[in-house]
A and B are shown apart, each in its own frame.
Chain A
Amino acid sequence: MSETRRERFCGSPEHALDRRRFLGTLAAGAAAFAADMTVLEVLKQPVIAQELKSQQKRVILLWLAGGSSQLETWDPKPGASTGGPFRAIPTSVPGIHISELMPKMAQRMEHTTIIRSLNTKNGDHGGGARLMMRGRMDDPSLRYPDLGAVLARELGQAHSAVPDYVSFYSATEGRDFAPDTAGFLGSRYAPMELTKTLMPENIRRPEGLSELDHAQRAELRELMSKRFARGRVSTDLGAHNEAYQRVRGLMASEKLFDLAQEPQKIRDEYGPTQFGEQALIARRLAEAGVPFVRVGRAWWDSHGQNFETHQEMVPELDHVMATLLDDLKRRGMLDSTLVITLAEFGRTPSINPSLGRDHFASAWSATLSGCGIKGGSVYGKTDALGQSVVDGEVGAAELFATIYKALGINPQKNYRVGSRPVPLTEPGTEPIETVLA
């Protein structure tokens, strides 16, 4: 009886962890620990890194919180009464014009498709943000996962050492409107959220605690926990253990968040802005295999002074997005990385007395670039004033189906919640085939 216990604390051969081995590890201490911290070393081996790059797909979402104006970005209406002061300029793809505030993206349109025909029917920040992060309306009986959690699950590795859903959102405005959520997928797919700094919370070993102390106490913790689990069953017990097992891997990813690791030349390209730095970290994460990173840029909610706001914020978006696409391309990652620009909604064509544009969900734009996308194209059309969609109307569901398909995920794939099958997108939803490569 006690003999069995000594050999296998949890009863299963895979998890066999006997006391002698535990003490042996303590003795081997530093060596074993060093091995553990080299998980990410694989990335330094060019062949493996290359293979990872070509096979693994990932997404960087540039989230334009508050609702950027489609008229000052992707769907300009120069000369129209609703058009505002900015001109449209031609792009590297004949026939496609975008706002003059985006000269850099204009030179790189061949990687990007613009969807100009979103009609998402929800002009409320909270409701709109939840809809556009989850691809569907709320259902009080089901907590839907958002795009990041779904992709963490679909594209991440089961025993991934890196985080698989990272979300930057530094501004306070609007952060609560679209809380990142793993919904029914559970805490395993919950995001690592960064709101204050570029470095995730609690990822660094506490000061004054040596690596060896940190590793050994964790082993002791695990050993005790496995003894406790013997003869007991609970899904929460499993989740608890798994959460602690991920700690060392997540800590090892600290360097990914450290911009000092990046050559100064690259840092200069992205620029010293917070948005630029976060986009660069997103690229570093994507390169290390993190399947989903959201970079939130706030606050686009220009009820007053819409044109000043956009004159300031659109060029920054233009610069960061163009730099990101260039960088991904240079590294051979653009074919496997999908870059999305999206918001909770667009802005009204009509200009209010404060020279602002208000919330508008009836005819607005999003873009998809890179992985699985037919670049240099435009899908859908709005009328001359931008008031409504006249061709190719799509909603959040179609956009999400398109994103899934571009990544090689079947949009009709079912999850099961209890006995209830829950498809990734509602049955009957068609992806926008013409924008897919």
Chain B
Amino acid sequence: MRTPLHALLGIVILATGARATPADELLPADRPIEAAVDHYVDAKLTKEGVHAAADADDATLVRRLTLDLQGRIPTDAEVRAFVLSTEADKRARLVDRLMASPGFVRHQVDTTDAMLMAGSRGSLNDYLSRAVRENRPWDQVFREVMQGNDSDPARKGSSDFLKARARDTDRLTSDVSSVFFGVNISCAKCHDHPKVRDWKQEHYYGMKSFLDRTFDSDNFVAERDFGAVKFKTTEGEERKARFMFLTGRVVDVPGIEEPSKEAKQEEKKRLEEARKKKEPPAPPKFSARGKLVEIALEPTERAFFAKAIVNRLWNRVFGVGLVMPLDQMHSENPPSHPELLQWLARDTIDHQYDLHRLIRGLVLSRAYARTSRWESAERPDPRLFATASVRPLTPFQLAASMWVASTDPASLPEVAKRDELDRKLEEFAGRGRSLASTIARPGEDYQIGASEALLMSNSDRLKDMLADGGDRLVARMAKMSDRREKIELAVRNVLSRAPDEEEISLFGEYLARYEDRPAEGCRQLVWALLTSAEFRFNY
């Protein structure tokens, strides 16, 4: 057994990838998040002798923020309002406004769902929409999802995370470790991890022990009162696994001995009764899964949990995590900015795992607001955050944005009528969901492939968007006589910026070829803009 002191040291090394900086050497805890981000990012840039790229212009920034916070592009009026505003704190006001809208909840739910349910067919939307709307602390979400109690109305649907994995506890072990702790230990299933000395078979089977009593009982998640995991070492020795957390912390758990006949029968009865009533089986007297949650959140062990979510949210808004890959947080894969990660994790814990606060801080940093363009010779390492990254839109972001982009702006409620406009925009997001599902299954690591290009090029799914009647952009353009004005309108509406002179003349010549079929020309121009890389990415 380790002494507590050793254990503590172990945690620190494991969870940071290097010895942690003592708390009093970190930037003070009362700094705003954005200030801490820029402090550490700038320090590293100075150290590496790299100058950061210039700030993105206002039009790019409002597009980026609207995509990141609401999962759609801004309307032309929203872009103009932001660009023309002379308020000193206009960016913070925009962020707060975007975060207070229903679109923020929808987009947070979608991205969180993609993160939690990656690779499965299930969805946690039901549960998450409630949890995100109330901004439930992340540790509470973790607890609720791991408990999976649907009978409490506030937690309805929370069992879907476990349900999708209850038939395969190896998968459950791997997913829980990766999603919530940023650690992929499945390599250590068959042997001690070949490359990473942190991960031994004991860690894998230790984690699995907590989860191996979980099972699927007629589509309900159930948990046994007993059970211990055995494994074979590479030397062929059979061992009983200890209940061990990633930090090496071992706990005693009842029920590891082979249960008595009576106990087994009692359990069978418990399950049969539940099955008859079509109810979830009663929870066990002692929940090993619950114990894992409890330990993972203890002050001495919670670094994994806090750092994993910080890293994932950082990755979401910056396009590259502080630790990459996201599920390889271990000593041989150090963060790009270890102290920053440590500071942000501490801040997140100190503020009760308030993720909305964390997101707000990240997007208010200077580092977030740089241009993605790097004109001089060698582009700096993306992990220095000297430029903004170029990120593909998720299927939901893309589909919602296509509807916004293809809508006649004059048909939208004016910006001053915020609630009305938001309602309309949410309607577009809803309309986009079926298109999104044909683009790709939402997940964190999907890629753009030829089937998407074929869909965009040939399917009739874009037909309604590009129609030349009603509230469609093409309809408005077709009615306009001035070619320059048409182009202005299209580029502003689709690409969220003004066209440059070269585009005006290029598109002008393109439209000229359609003099006899003006609506068709407008339709094809809008198509080309909608399918261009500039529209497809958040830059």
Contacts and interface: CB of A to CB of B under 8 A. Distances in A.
A, B co-complexed: yes
Nearest to B327: A141
Q: How large is the interface on A (under 10, 10 to 19, 20 to 34, 35 or more residues)?
A: 35 or more
B392 A243 contact: no
Nearest to B491: A224
B151 interface: no
A190 B459 contact: no
Interface string A221-237: 10111001111111011
Interface in B439-458: 446-455, 457-458
B352 interface: no
Interface stretch (A99-107, A244-252, A375-383): A244-252
Given A202-B457, A206-B459, A240 B534 contact: no
Given A234-B390, A236-B390, A213 B520 contact: yes
Given A187-B447, A188-B449, A240-B392, A224 B537 contact: no
A229 B187 CA distance: 38
A218 interface: yes
A6 B500 CA distance: 13
Interface in A1-32: 2, 5-6, 19, 22-23, 26
Contact of A224 (B174, B446, B451, B534): B534
Contacts of B389: 234
A188 B389 CA distance: 22
Nearest to B520: A213
B499 to A, nearest CB: 11
B457 A233 contact: no
A241 B372 CA distance: 18
B174 A140 contact: yes
Interface of B is mostly: helix
Contact of B171 (A140, A206, A220, A223): A140
Given A202-B454, A243-B450, A233 B533 contact: no
A3 to B, nearest CB: 12
Interface in A174-228: 186-188, 190, 192, 200-206, 213-214, 216-218, 220-221, 223-225, 228
A427 to B, nearest CB: 12
A234 B510 contact: no
B186 A140 contact: yes
A206 B458 contact: yes
A114 to B, nearest CB: 32
A213 B517 CA distance: 11
A126 B346 CA distance: 43
B537 A236 contact: yes
A12 to B, nearest CB: 13
A23 B533 contact: no
B453 A246 contact: yes
A214 B528 CA distance: 10
A139 interface: yes
Given A203-B458, A213-B520, A233 B390 contact: yes
Given A186-B447, A221-B531, A418-B325, A202 B459 contact: yes
A20 to B, nearest CB: 11
Contacts of A19: 502, 506
Given A141-B186, A192-B451, A247-B453, A225 B520 contact: no
A239 interface: yes
B488 to A, nearest CB: 16
B454 A203 contact: yes
A220 B531 CA distance: 10
A50 B287 CA distance: 68
B392 to A, nearest CB: 5
A234 B524 CA distance: 27
A234 B537 contact: yes
A225 B449 contact: no
A23 B509 contact: yes
Contact of B533 (A5, A237, A250): A237
A250 B390 contact: no
A139 B186 contact: yes
A290 to B, nearest CB: 14
Contacts of A224: 528-529, 532-534
A239 B449 contact: yes
Nearest to A219: B528
B328 to A, nearest CB: 9
Given A220-B510, A244-B453, A232 B447 contact: no
A205 B390 CA distance: 31
B531 A202 contact: no
Contacts of B513: 26, 216
A225 B495 CA distance: 12
A168 to B, nearest CB: 15
B216 interface: no
B494 to A, nearest CB: 10
Interface in A65-99: none
B457 A236 contact: no
B527 interface: yes
Contact of B448 (A141, A216, A240, A418): A240
B184 interface: yes
A192 B509 CA distance: 37
B532 A228 contact: yes
Contact of A239 (B375, B447, B520, B529): B447
Contacts of B532: 221, 224-225, 228
Interface string A111-149: 000000000000000000000000000011100000000
A247 B450 contact: yes
Nearest to A243: B453
A104 B379 CA distance: 64
B405 to A, nearest CB: 14
B170 interface: yes
B373 A201 contact: no
Interface in B94-112: none
Interface in A136-164: 139-141, 163
Nearest to A189: B449
B180 interface: no
Nearest to A187: B449
Contacts of B174: 140-141
Nearest to B373: A231
B257 interface: no
A141 B455 contact: no
Interface in B498-539: 502, 506, 509-510, 513, 520, 524-525, 527-529, 531-534, 536-537, 539
B374 interface: yes
B534 A201 contact: no
A186 B447 CA distance: 7
Contacts of A223: 506
Among B184, B525, B533, find the residue whose CB has the most chain A CB atoms closer than 10 A: B533
Nearest to B121: A176
Contacts of B379: 233
Contact of A240 (B375, B455, B536): B536
B533 A140 contact: no
B24 interface: no
Nearest to B170: A140
Given A233-B379, A234-B389, A201 B460 contact: no
A217 B529 CA distance: 9
Nearest to A246: B450
B445 to A, nearest CB: 8
Among A22, A200, A243, A250, find the residue whose CB has the most chain B CB atoms closer than 10 A: A243
A422 to B, nearest CB: 12
B406 to A, nearest CB: 15
A205 B456 CA distance: 11
Nearest to A192: B451
B392 A236 contact: yes
Given A213-B524, A233-B374, 15 more contacts: A187-B449, A188-B450, A201-B455, A202-B455, A204-B458, A206-B460, A213-B520, A228-B539, A230-B373, A232-B390, A233-B379, A234-B389, A236-B392, A240-B448, A240-B536
Closest 7 CB pairs of A and B: A187-B449, A140-B174, A225-B533, A187-B447, A234-B390, A243-B453, A231-B373
12 contacts: A140-B174, A140-B186, A141-B178, A187-B448, A206-B459, A213-B524, A217-B528, A228-B534, A231-B374, A239-B448, A251-B454, A418-B325
